[in-house]
Amino acid sequence: MVDEDPYLWLEDVTGDRALDWVRRRNAESVGELTGGARFEQLRDEAREVLDADDRIPYIRRRGEYFYNFWQDAAHPRGLWRRTTLDSYRREHPNWDILLDIDALARAEGENWVWQGAAVLKPEYRRALAELSRGGADAAVVREFDLRTREFVVGGFQLPEAKSRVGWIDEDSIYVGTDFGPGSMTASGYPRIMKEWRRGTPLDEAVTVFEGKPDDVAVFAYHDPTPGFERDFVGRAIDFYRTEKFLRTPGGLVKLDVPEDAQTSAHQEWLLIRTRTAWSVEGREYAPGTLLAARFDDYLAGGRDLTVLFEPDGRTSLESWDWTRNHLLLTTLADVHTELHVLTPDDGWRREPLAGAPELGTAEIVDTDPDHSDEYLLNTSGFTQPSTLAYGHVGGGTEVLKQAPARFDATDVTVEQHFATSRDGTRIPYFVVRPRNGDGPTMLTGYGGFEVSRLPAYSGVTGRGWLARGGTYVLANIRGGGEYGPDWHTGAIKENRYLVYEDFAAVAADLTERGITTPQRLGIHGGSNGGLLMGVMLTRYPELFGAIVSQVPLLDMKRYHLLLAGASWMAEYGDPDDPAEWDYLGKYSPYQNVHQGGTYPPTLFMTSTRDDRVHPAHARKMMARMAEQGHDVRYYENIEGGHGAAADNEQLAYKWALLFEFLWQKLTA
């Protein structure tokens, strides 16, 4: 078969020819964008925000301590550390440093990036720490002793892979990793889960569950809640459908719920959140409904379900979190956060939980479901710096930390508007702008995977854009989760075009309201949002003055063959199916950019170490557009994984490139 893609060689991530091409393109963009005083100011301002000592060090309780991971100028790779609540209340807490990633990287001659750690309950003396090279998703796993602050000699350890690990007890873990041929799915994640006993070689670990090659991944985990100890295994059939089983001495017991439902267990309760309509014993539950049942009764066949949340046309369930005795719900009403407390008594008592701002976001950061009814609540808004509060259900709250303002928002206004998409659907969006500003407008959005984009404070955007007179716009388009599952599922696969019509409608509405003009409207987005930018580039170029596409999907003909791409076919479709390629091919940016087209100036940004979305998407799009003579430039960071930055220095540099490009092109 004749290959019709002349740029397949750019899919060789670390090939000499491909990297030589990357270096040349990087040099061109760096030379164009970084030479002036404004770039240096943008970079330094962003770095100052990212490294500021008075940032809130967000914490998570693990037993008697609160844990934090911290990066700053002196510790670019970061410190894993912990403290007590009393110490945290002070202006300068006394931090107990567990692991210095910078020191570790120097000692071992490795480019380590912290990926987190699973700490063993209930003593919290051991952890399974994950470290990646350069920020990739693939990581090494090493057992760490929190008392000695050292890695355990002869402890649990895995080489670099996209592994899944979790504690069962001090001497055994669940592990899914690259065991050899056939052990990983087509998406590059574990297909087999095993139980691994301490002191035995990995090849003697006992298989407890196997998925299918075309599954996204498999999983296994242990719930150590005293009196309710349970083990679960299962398979992610695709990005939204799961089969879950309770692992018992007598074998696996399937959790009989719809494959696309989300489930969780807490003590005696089973929670089920529907993604599509579900009919049970003559009653139908709408998509996005949260239901509760007693776990043992449900497994025995009972279907006594209590509705804890039911959406309507304006509201959706964003998240839920258990304390020991209560369930905290975070809901959205036209993208405005509301908080609720539900208490299981004879029925389920529902009360409001104070703390949500009017035009901002409230987020439950952490709870202590094993021991107490405490919670940590973070609030912020576009012009409201973050506040971290500590409270107990039924009691008061105290402010633990308050982030200072990073830019002067005295005369910055926040408004919510609604655009009308082509099919008549109302699309909400937020406009943040100086009252008397006359600068260009920067619009962003995501529109995929049921991910909600909510109002939040960004000192980087505030300094780099708003403080310089620019207008910032956030679009809540379909494909996200702002109005629940239907807002997402109604815009996948063959209906994907709705996402793009929504974003175009917001852009047009901004012009119609006189907020901006196409020549002064720039857009940016990453990952699925990078695909959104690519579609705007090729289908709606007349609406924009400049476009930045970051770590994007762009070649939808081959996305399922590159890295984790196969896992997203439930979202986009299968390009090998002619019927599905028929709609994919209509918007795939790589196949729809043409030499005769007129496109706004464009910047593609990605990372060599991104092992989730292949850098070849951006590489090939850049190569094709350059060959066709379009106004395009490219920057690829060698490190950074899917975030395209491994530390704050790289992140500040990336933001400065983005801002400088937009300021240049929108104010020329």
Active centre residues (catalytic): 527, 642
**Residue owning tokens 């509760």:** 292
- Angle of helix 16-33 versus helix 648-666 axis, rounded to 10: 60
- Locate 273 and state its tokens: 């959140």
Residues 491-504: b if buried by 16+ CB within 10 A, e if exposed: bbeeebbbbbbbbb
Interatomic CA distance for residues 123 and 170, integer angstroms: 10
First vs last C-alpha separation in the chain: 47
Residue 438, CA distances (Å) to 209, 252, 430, 478 in order: 60, 63, 18, 30
Interatomic CA distance for residues 431 and 510, integer angstroms: 9
Residues 626-645: b if buried by 16+ CB within 10 A, e if exposed: eeeebebbbbbbbbbbbbbb
* β-sheet bridge partners, residue 256: none
Query: Amino acid identity, residue 553?
Result: L
SS (H, E, C) 247-312: EECCEEEECCCCCCCEEEEECCEEEEECCCCEEECCEEECCCCEEEEEHHHHHCCCCCCEEEECCC
Interatomic CA distance for residues 429 and 510, integer angstroms: 10
Interatomic CA distance for residues 557 and 574, integer angstroms: 9
| The CA-based dihedral angle spanning residues 583, 586, 589, 591, taken in that order and rounded to the nearest 10 degrees | 110
- Report the half-sphere exposure of 112 (CA within 13 A, side-chain side): 25
How far does Cα 293 stand from its chain's mean position?
30
Interatomic CA distance for residues 339 and 346, integer angstroms: 22
- Locate 639 and state its tokens: 């490190």
Pairing outcome for strands 327-333 and 112-119:
unpaired
Residue 148, CA distances (Å) to 124, 151, 547 in order: 13, 8, 50
Using an 8 Å Cβ cutoff, are 548 and 523 in contact?
Answer: yes
Count other Cβ atoms within 10 Å, centred on residue 563: 23
Query: H or E element: which one contains 104?
Result: helix 101-108
- Report the half-sphere exposure of 657 (CA within 13 A, side-chain side): 29
Strand order in the sheet with 65-70: 60-62, 65-70, 79-83, 96-100
Strand order in the sheet with 360-367: 360-367, 374-381, 387-392, 397-402
Query: H or E element: which one contains 62?
Result: strand 60-62
* β-sheet bridge partners, residue 320: 329
Using an 8 Å Cβ cutoff, are 25 and 603 in contact?
Answer: no
Residue 8, CA distances (Å) to 5, 186, 350, 616 in order: 6, 20, 57, 8
- Angle of helix 528-539 versus helix 616-627 axis, rounded to 10: 20
**Residue owning tokens 């309950």:** 121
Strand order in the sheet with 315-322: 315-322, 327-333, 336-344, 348-352
Interatomic CA distance for residues 226 and 605, integer angstroms: 48
